[in-house]
Amino acid sequence: FRMSEQHERISILGLGAMGRALAGALLAAGREVTVWNRTPGKAGDLVARGAREVSSVEGAIDASDLTVACLLDDASVRETLAPVVQKLADRTLVNLTSGSVRQARELDRWLKEYGVRFLAGGIMAVPPTVGTEGAFILYSGARDLFDRVAPALSPLGRPHWVGEDPGFAALYDMAALSGMYGIGAGVDHAVRMLHAEGGDVETFKREVLRPWLEQMLPIFVAGADVSDTVPDEYNPEMQAVGLENILAASGEAGVPADLAGHLRASLWRMRRAVATAG
Ligand code: FVH
């Protein structure tokens, strides 16, 4: 058999906004998709579109040779996998949950003790852009494993391998997110200035800020693409955890905390939004 044929059946652990988008893109590409979520009833229209929903993690692992985890954070991945890790022996697990570099390396070490084939990942897309032309997914880990798995997961976004070090997908992911949040902090500051001085924010954004950033962006990052944000798709808890991930990655690298002020401010806003909603 060709190795890629093994991976036509794919299980997804986690049906948050991103897990559902991943499952939907795989279904649209004709994959046999099995889904599991801690809280039942989150499959939405996925089952009507052909997905099989199972009530246990074991059931999901059994259903496919390739399992993709897309959960809130590293702790939820550990919590989900710990009781079933022996079942993953000689199977492939791709973790598309965001986390820090150290977490990815430790997860890799732990899974390898159990004979799991493991690839770490980082999703460079938001739910509405999964499977669209600009989307890409960072992967790190063994190159031969990436070569076997990439065709199966290519409907999610262009597979892009960033190195053998299992921490590198998180490294590139967190670094890219840091760049994105830095732009966001600058835009926020600009808008506050407009408000304070009585400017027309919408006109400023449309006629000044956007064309200005479009002009400048290639100077900072050649070929970057900026997606519109869709607020409903961004669970503040997920974002808060994501910001903590970036700060953790920064701390692990010994980067001075004062350079991450824009991230701390974003994190504070997300935590406040969670507290208000809860
Ligand atoms: N959504 C986005 O824009 C970003 C884009 C870039 C990559 N991220 C990362 O993707 C991971 C999942 O994000 P998400 O948007 O799906 O997040 P939520 O909608 O909040 O869903 C969270 C899922 O995690 C499950 N979960 C949480 N804690 C546990 C646990 N202890 N054990 C098992 N599952 C857990 C949760 O299940 P439930 O609450 O419905 O039972 C959801 O399935 C994330 O790493 C982003 O950084 C998305």
Ligand 1 pocket check for 39: Cβ under 6 Å:
yes
Determine which residue's CA is closest to atom 5 belonging to ligand 1. 126
Span from the CA of 48 to the centroid of ligand 1 (angstroms): 22
Q: Is the CB of 240 under 6 A from ligand 1?
A: no
State whether 30 and 158 are in the same domain. Answer: yes
Shared domain for 184 and 270, answered yes or no, is yes
Ligand 1 neighbour 130 (Cβ under 6 A): no
Q: Which atom of ligand 1 is nearest to the CA of 99?
A: 45
Our answer on whether the CB atom of 194 is closer than 6 Å to any ligand 1 atom is no
- 38 shares a domain with 77: yes
What is the position in ligand 1's atom list of the atom closest to the CA of 245? Answer: 47
Does one domain contain both 193 and 245?
yes
Q: Is the CB of 33 under 6 A from ligand 1?
A: no
- Contacts for 72 with CB less than 8 Å, ≥ 6 apart: 14, 16, 97, 237, 238, 241
103 CB within 6 A, ligand 1: no
The predicted-structure confidence for 175-222, as pLDDT tens digits, reads as follows 999 888 888 877 877 777 677 788 899 998 999 999 999 997 876 665
Going by alpha carbons, the residue nearest to atom 37 of ligand 1 is: 38
Cβ–ligand 1 distance for 104 under 6 Å, the answer no
Residue whose token pair is 């598309």: 96
* DSSP letter string, 92-152: EEEE-S---HHHHHHHHHHHHHTT-EEEEEEEES-GGGTTSTT-EEEEES-HHHHHHHHHH
Looking at the structure, tell me whether residues 118 and 148 fall in a common domain: yes
197 and 104 together in one domain? no
In this structure, the strands spanning 136-140 and 66-69 are unpaired
Query: Are residues 191 and 254 part of one domain?
Result: yes
Answer whether 71 contacts ligand 1 (Cβ < 6 A).
yes
The parent domain of residue 21 ranges over: 3-165
Residue nearest to ligand 1 atom 1, measured at CA: 18
User: What total of structural domains would you count in the chain?
Assistant: 2
> Ligand 1 centroid to 238 CA: how many Å?
6
245 CB within 6 A, ligand 1? no
Q: Is 177 in the pocket of ligand 1 (CB under 6 A)?
A: no
Per-residue pLDDT of the chain (278 residues; tens, 9 = 90+): 244 444 689 999 999 999 999 999 999 999 999 999 999 999 989 999 999 999 999 999 999 999 999 999 999 999 999 999 999 999 999 999 999 999 999 999 999 999 999 999 999 999 999 999 999 999 999 999 999 999 999 999 999 999 999 999 999 999 999 888 888 877 877 777 677 788 899 998 999 999 999 997 876 665 443 333 334 566 888 888 987 887 677 677 675 666 567 768 878 888 888 888 87
Q: What is the CATH number of the domain that holds 84?
A: 3.40.50.720
Same domain, 160 and 187: no
Q: Residue 68: which H helix or E strand, with range?
A: strand 66-69
From residue 177, how far is each of 38, 40, 99, 191, 218 by CA, in Å?
27, 31, 12, 21, 17
Q: Which of 154, 150, 173 is nearest to 97 (CA)?
A: 173
